[in-house]
C-alpha cells in the first residue's frame, strides 16, 4: 500500500475516532441549546480556526468549482448536521446511530449511478455492509428493541443521504487540485451561509451565549476545533486519496467508538450483545475494504 493510501486510511480512522465521541458533547449541548445554535457556533469556530491556520485565499476562477463547493457546504455542513440534530429530538439516539450508518450504502448507490463509475463497489462491499449493519444494530439497540418514530427516523435517513452526496462531492473537489484545508474552509463558508435563512425559523437566540458556562464552552470548542476544523480536513483528505465509497465505510466504526467511549468515560457496562456487534462491525469493515491481490490500483473503491 502506498504512503498516500496509508495516510488516507489513518486520516479516516482519526476522523471516525473523534466523531465517535461527539455524541457526548452534542447530547450535553442539546439540553441547553437548539440544534441550529450548536451548528452555527460549531462551524463558525471551525471556519475561524481554518482561517487562522492558513489565511491564504482560495482562488478557483471557475463557476463550476464554486457551485460544487457550495453544494458540498449545503449537503455536508448545513443539511447533514441540521437533519441529524433535529432527528435526535424526535427519535432515539440508537435509531439515529443505526440509520446514519446506512450512509455508505447511499454513497455506493450514488457512485454506481453517477459519473464516478470507477467507484462502483464489489460484491465484498455488500457482504461487508450487511455484516456491519447487523453489528451496528446489536450495538445500538443492545436488546432494547426498535422503537419507531417516523419523523425522526425519516430525518435521519435524509441526513444519511445528504452525507452520501457530500462524500461524492468532496471526491470531485479533490480533483480540482486545491489544498484540502482551503477547500474545506470554503465548504464551511457556504455551509454557514446556507444556515443563515434557517436561524429565525428554527429559533436562534443570540443572547443565550452571553451566560454560557465552562462546560458548554469546552464542548463547543471540542466540536468546533476537533470535530469540525480538524476532522473535516482529515476526512476530505481521506476521500481524496481513497475515494468516496472506500472512505465512507469507516462510518461503520462510529458506534464501536461510541461504545468504547461510553465504557471509558461514562462507566457504562459492556454487554455480550455489544461485544458480538463490535466483532460483526469490524468484520464488515474489513470485508468492505478488502481488495483481492492482482486487481491493480484501479478499481471500484479507488
Q: Give the pLDDT mean for 32-58.
A: 92
Q: Is the pLDDT of residue 116 over 60?
A: no
- Identify the residue with better confidence: 139 or 38: 38
- State mean pLDDT over 5-32: 87
Instruction: Give me the mean pLDDT over the 137-146 stretch.
Output: 63
How many Cβ atoms are within 10 Å of 273's Cβ, its own excluded? Answer: 15
CA 70, 74, 75, 76 dihedral sign is positive
Confidence class for position 293, pLDDT limits 50, 70, 90: low
Q: Where are the beta strands (DSSP E) in 230-270?
A: none
The model carries a pTM of 0.82
Report the candidate in 95, 102, 101 with the shortest Cα–Cα distance to residue 149: 95
The distance from CA 170 to its chain's CA centroid, rounded to whole angstroms, is 12
User: How far apart are the C-alpha atoms of 216 and 103, rounded to whole Å?
Assistant: 29
Higher pLDDT, 195 or 273: 195
Question: Nearest 5°: phi and psi at 198?
Answer: -85, -15
**What's 177's DSSP letter?**
-
Instruction: Output the average pLDDT for the chain.
Output: 82
Can you tell me the mean pLDDT for 122-145?
73
pLDDT band at 268 (very low <50, low <70, confident <90, very high): low
Q: Report whether pLDDT(115) > 50.
A: no
Q: Which has more confidence, 113 or 182?
A: 182
DSSP 49-64: HHHHH--PPP----HH
Closest to 164 (Cα-Cα) out of 129, 201, 199: 129
What is the CA 43 to chain-centroid distance, rounded?
A: 14
CB proximity list for 115: less than 8 A, separation 6 or greater: none
CA geometry: angle at 258 spanning 255 and 264, to 5°?
Answer: 145
Report yes or no: 81 and 39 within 8 Å, Cβ to Cβ.
yes
Handedness of CA 169, 172, 173, 179 (dihedral sign): positive
Please give the DSSP secondary-structure letter assigned to residue 144.
Answer: S
Amino acid at each position: 500500500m502506498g504512503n498516500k493510501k496509508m495516510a488516507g486510511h489513518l486520516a479516516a480512522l482519526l476522523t471516525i475516532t473523534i466523531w465517535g465521541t461527539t455524541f457526548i458533547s452534542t447530547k450535553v449541548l442539546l439540553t441547553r441549546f437548539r440544534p441550529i445554535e450548536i451548528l452555527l457556533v460549531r462551524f463558525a469556530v471551525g471556519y475561524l480556526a481554518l482561517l487562522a491556520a492558513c489565511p491564504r485565499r482560495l482562488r478557483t476562477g471557475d463557476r463550476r468549482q464554486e457551485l460544487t463547493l457550495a453544494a458540498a457546504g449545503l449537503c455536508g455542513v448545513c443539511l447533514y448536521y441540521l437533519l441529524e440534530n433535529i432527528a435526535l429530538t424526535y427519535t432515539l439516539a440508537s435509531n439515529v446511530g443505526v440509520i446514519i450508518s446506512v450512509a455508505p450504502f447511499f454513497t455506493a448507490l450514488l457512485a454506481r449511478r453517477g459519473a464516478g463509475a470507477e467507484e462502483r463497489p464489489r460484491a465484498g462491499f455488500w457482504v461487508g455492509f450487511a455484516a456491519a449493519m447487523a453489528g451496528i444494530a446489536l450495538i445500538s439497540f443492545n436488546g432494547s428493541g426498535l422503537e419507531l418514530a417516523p419523523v425522526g427516523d425519516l430525518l435521519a435517513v435524509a441526513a444519511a443521504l445528504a452525507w452520501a452526496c457530500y462524500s461524492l462531492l468532496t471526491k470531485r473537489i479533490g480533483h480540482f487540485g486545491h489544498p484540502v484545508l482551503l477547500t474545506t474552509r470554503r465548504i464551511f463558508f457556504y455551509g454557514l451561509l446556507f444556515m443563515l435563512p434557517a436561524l429565525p425559523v428554527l429559533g436562534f437566540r443570540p443572547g443565550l451565549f452571553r451566560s454560557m458556562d465552562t462546560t458548554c464552552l469546552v464542548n463547543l470548542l471540542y466540536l468546533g476545533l476537533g470535530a469540525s476544523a480538524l476532522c473535516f480536513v482529515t476526512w476530505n483528505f481521506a476521500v481524496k486519496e481513497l475515494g468516496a465509497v472506500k472512505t465512507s465505510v469507516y462510518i461503520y466504526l462510529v458506534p464501536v467508538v461510541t461504545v468504547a467511549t461510553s465504557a471509558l468515560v461514562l462507566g457504562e457496562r459492556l454487554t455480550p450483545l455489544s461485544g458480538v456487534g463490535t466483532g460483526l462491525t469490524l468484520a464488515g469493515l474489513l470485508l468492505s475494504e478488502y481488495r483481492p491481490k492482482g486487481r491493480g490500483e484501479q478499481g471500484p473503491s479507488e
